[in-house]
């Protein structure tokens, strides 16, 4: 997030796109609902009619994968009606002309056809957004998990730049990060192309700094992203995989082929707190301690680094992950791993990471600190770009964009669009599915089908249906509801027994390498033979 969570409450206008915040980030969802009670306007756009629809002043239920068309249309209306912040664009941005040219191309009526939203509605959303004193944009995986996810994010950024809604409190481009420490894992350089604090591995200066600090020769070529690894396994380039706390057999797109890749590995080491579906395929499984059994820090979606504290001794013979990694490194004869505890590791992080330079356990003992926090006196940064942007020129960069359809579109054979979602009661599943009460509240997969589609398929509520995509099939209970519009069905991915991601499409965004989990074409079959084939479906083998 460019801005802070607490600023959401003070925004005059909140634009939520591709995020079901009330279910996935409930505490942020509550901030939104309280902001509305205080008089803020809510614009919400999502293919699914989420809880946001009930709260929104302007609701736009666009077709899955048409975000760029929608956002560009909003931008165009803002420019045409002269509602853009010309002063801000002039002083702080660049590339506006090229951007303007790119969106002025297709006629506005095209946006209506593509997104399925009446033009007046897009226009009123654009006006509300541009005319508010402060407007903040919140988004999540509904924007990013597309084969053109990077473009979606840039379209969001364009809109913020166009209206000058960035670099001030209660504005900004705010992705709601998923996992508890996904922000921190990125900050710490658990990415193939950067070291800590987003210092690029192919920058010779940076490489030299880390080689000196770590006393080791380092590779200057960026590595493979998680989504590319399995392809590399198939082609024999990668033979060994070490996975910590992750379950790609359930969470990756097109898990059927992921499972096949894993079988080709020579060595698979999994370190986790549970014997996950992935761990079951491993050669070596190392038991890790949970968050309650170790010290450390998490960095949340608003970049706040907060202390995690050990409450109990590790369960059984499990050990904290840092201890396991340290011991393996030392066993392999590596130097620079003589850490006594997490605080010592943080000291090394501080030295090598400018944005974490002022973060010590002592300073974050109570409230945490929001990076960038370059030195011990720095109070942390609640919002970005107050004076300049982090581009080479220091100016906000407009990106010319054109709408492109999703990688997989519906056909006569696969007439429905499947989009994945999360339930209020579960997260990814490895943890929450181990809690009996949460299973009691939502214990099985439910595929949301619109009454219109249900009627034409003659599916009844609660009936078990078979969902088939070009990659595989799963069975799930039908839940007939108007939450999904006609032509769209929706499933969660919390349940290893119903592996939704067998269906999803692994088409990757060319830059971010994110799979298109939010759009794939499926069909629903009603006749079910509860014979032996039933068992095969769960494993992803199509009949």
Distance separating alpha carbons of residues 443 and 429, to the nearest angstrom: 11
CB of 335 to other proteins, least distance (A): 9
User: Helix crossing, 67-80 with 96-104: angle to 10°?
Assistant: 110
CA atoms within 13 A on the CB side of 55: 27
Pick between residue 246 and residue 445 the one whose CB is nearest to other proteins: 246
Distance separating alpha carbons of residues 186 and 300, to the nearest angstrom: 11
251 touching other proteins, by CB under 8 A: yes
336-369 CB burial, b ≥16 within 10 A, e <16 = eeebeebeebbeebbebbbbbbbbbbebbeeebb
338 touching other proteins, by CB under 8 A: no
CB of 167 to other proteins, least distance (A): 22
By CB atoms closer than 10 A (0-12, 13-18, 19+), residue 65 is: buried
Out of 100, 124, 179, 360, which residue is the one contacting other proteins (CB under 8 A)?
179
260 touching other proteins, by CB under 8 A: no
CB of 521 to other proteins, least distance (A): 20
Q: Which residues sit opposite 488 in a β-bridge? A: 417
CB of 94 to other proteins, least distance (A): 28
315 touching other proteins, by CB under 8 A: yes
Per-residue x/- marks for other proteins, 186-225, CB under 8 A? Answer: xxxxxxxx-xx----x--------x---x-xxxx-xxxxx
Per-residue x/- marks for other proteins, 387-426, CB under 8 A? Answer: -------------------------------------xxx
Residues 445-484 that bind other proteins (CB under 8 A): none
Q: Tokens standing for 182?
A: 């996904």
The radius of gyration computed from the CA coordinates of the chain, to the nearest angstrom, equals 24
Consecutive H or E run containing 87: helix 86-92
Out of 117, 438, 483, 520, which residue is the one contacting other proteins (CB under 8 A)?
438
| SS3 label, residue 94 | strand
Residues 265-284 that bind other proteins (CB under 8 A): 265-269, 272-275, 279, 282-284
- Neighbouring CB atoms inside 10 A of 104's CB total 14
434 touching other proteins, by CB under 8 A: yes
The sign one gets for the Cα dihedral 266, 272, 275, 277 is negative
Asked if residue 42 lies in contact with residue 16, where contact means CB atoms within 8 angstroms, the answer is yes
Pairing of strands 304-308, 369-370: antiparallel
Distance separating alpha carbons of residues 52 and 44, to the nearest angstrom: 6
Cβ contacts of 538 within 8 Å, gap of 6 or more: 474, 475, 497, 498, 499
Pick between residue 315 and residue 376 the one whose CB is nearest to other proteins: 315
Out of 305, 373, 480, 522, which residue is the one contacting other proteins (CB under 8 A)?
305
Pick between residue 87 and residue 313 the one whose CB is nearest to other proteins: 313
| SS3 label, residue 452 | helix
Out of 72, 257, 301, 469, which residue is the one contacting other proteins (CB under 8 A)?
301
Question: In 3D, which of 221, 266, 274 has the Cα closest to residue 242?
Answer: 266
Pick between residue 456 and residue 539 the one whose CB is nearest to other proteins: 539
CB of 257 to other proteins, least distance (A): 15
Q: Tokens standing for 83?
A: 């509602």
CB of 520 to other proteins, least distance (A): 15
Out of 132, 163, 181, 490, which residue is the one contacting other proteins (CB under 8 A)?
181
Out of 86, 292, 386, 536, which residue is the one contacting other proteins (CB under 8 A)?
292
Out of 80, 97, 327, 497, which residue is the one contacting other proteins (CB under 8 A)?
327
125 touching other proteins, by CB under 8 A: no
Cβ contacts of 405 within 8 Å, gap of 6 or more: 65
Cα of first residue to Cα of last residue in the chain, in angstroms, is 45
- Neighbouring CB atoms inside 10 A of 489's CB total 23
Residues 479-518 that bind other proteins (CB under 8 A): 512-515, 517
Pick between residue 164 and residue 189 the one whose CB is nearest to other proteins: 189
CB of 478 to other proteins, least distance (A): 18
Q: How far is CA 69 from the centre of its chain?
A: 21
Distance separating alpha carbons of residues 165 and 475, to the nearest angstrom: 45
Out of 90, 362, 375, 440, which residue is the one contacting other proteins (CB under 8 A)?
440
Out of 55, 60, 159, 519, which residue is the one contacting other proteins (CB under 8 A)?
55
Q: What is the DSSP letter of 507?
A: P
Residues 5-44 that bind other proteins (CB under 8 A): 5-6, 22, 24-30, 33-34, 37
Residues 77-116 that bind other proteins (CB under 8 A): none
Out of 16, 155, 176, 491, which residue is the one contacting other proteins (CB under 8 A)?
176
532 touching other proteins, by CB under 8 A: no
Residues 341-370 that bind other proteins (CB under 8 A): 342, 345-346, 348-349, 366-368
CB of 75 to other proteins, least distance (A): 26
50 touching other proteins, by CB under 8 A: no
Pick between residue 119 and residue 324 the one whose CB is nearest to other proteins: 324
């Amino acid at each position: 997030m460019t801005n802070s969570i607490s600023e959401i409450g003070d925004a005059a206008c909140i634009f939520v796109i591709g995020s079901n915040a009330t279910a996935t980030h409930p505490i942020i969802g509550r901030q939104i609902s309280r902001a509305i009670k205080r008089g803020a306007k809510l614009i919400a756009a999502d293919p699914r009619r989420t809880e946001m629809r009930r709260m929104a002043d302007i609701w736009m239920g666009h077709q899955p994968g048409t975000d760029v068309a929608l956002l560009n249309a909003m931008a165009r209306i803002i420019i045409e009606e002269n509602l853009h912040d010309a002063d801000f664009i002039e002083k702080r941005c660049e590339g506006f002309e090229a951007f303007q040219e790119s969106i002025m191309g297709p006629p506005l009526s095209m946006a209506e056809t593509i997104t399925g939203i009446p033009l007046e509605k897009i226009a009123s959303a654009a006006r509300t957004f541009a005319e508010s004193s402060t407007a903040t944009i919140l988004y999540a995986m509904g924007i990013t998990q597309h084969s053109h996810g990077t473009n979606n994010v840039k379209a969001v950024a364009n809109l913020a730049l166009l209206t000058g809604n960035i670099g001030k409190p209660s504005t900004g481009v705010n992705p709601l990060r998923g996992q508890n420490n996904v922000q921190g894992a990125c900050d710490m350089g658990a990415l193939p192309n950067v070291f800590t604090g987003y210092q690029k591995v192919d920058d010779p200066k940076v490489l030299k700094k880390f080689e000196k600090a770590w006393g080791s020769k380092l590779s200057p070529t960026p590595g493979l992203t998680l989504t590319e690894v399995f392809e590399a396994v198939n082609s024999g380039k990668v033979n060994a995989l070490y996975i910590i706390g992750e379950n790609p057999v359930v969470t990756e797109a097109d898990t059927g082929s992921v499972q096949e890749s894993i079988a080709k590995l020579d060595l698979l080491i999994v370190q986790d707190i549970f014997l996950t579906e992935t761990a079951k395929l491993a050669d070596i499984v190392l038991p890790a301690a949970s968050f309650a059994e170790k010290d450390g820090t998490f960095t949340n979606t608003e970049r706040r680094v907060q202390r995690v504290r050990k409450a109990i001794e590790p369960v059984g013979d499990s050990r904290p992950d840092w201890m396991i990694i340290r011991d393996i490194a030392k066993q392999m004869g590596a130097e620079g791993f003589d850490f006594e505890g997490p605080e010592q590791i943080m000291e090394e992080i501080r030295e090598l990471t400018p944005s974490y330079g002022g973060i010590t356990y002592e300073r974050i003992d109570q409230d945490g600190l929001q990076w960038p926090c370059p030195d011990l006196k720095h109070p942390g940064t609640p919002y970005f770009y107050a004076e300049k942007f982090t581009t080479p020129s220091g100016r906000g960069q407009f990106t010319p964009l054109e709408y492109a359809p999703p990688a997989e579109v519906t056909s006569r054979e696969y007439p429905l669009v499947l989009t994945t979602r999360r339930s209020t009661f579960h997260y990814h599943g490895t943890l929450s599915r181990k809690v009996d009460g949460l299973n009691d509240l939502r214990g099985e997969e439910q595929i949301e089908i619109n009454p219109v589609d249900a009627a034409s398929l003659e599916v009844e509520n609660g009936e078990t249906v078979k969902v088939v995509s070009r990659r595989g099939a799963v069975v799930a209970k039908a839940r007939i509801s108007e939450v999904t519009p006609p032509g769209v069905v929706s499933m969660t991915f919390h349940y290893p027994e119903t592996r939704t991601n067998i269906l999803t499409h692994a088409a990757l965004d060319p830059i971010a390498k994110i799979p298109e989990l939010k759009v794939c074409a499926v069909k629903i079959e009603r006749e079910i033979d509860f014979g032996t084939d039933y068992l095969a479906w769960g494993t992803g083998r199509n009949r």
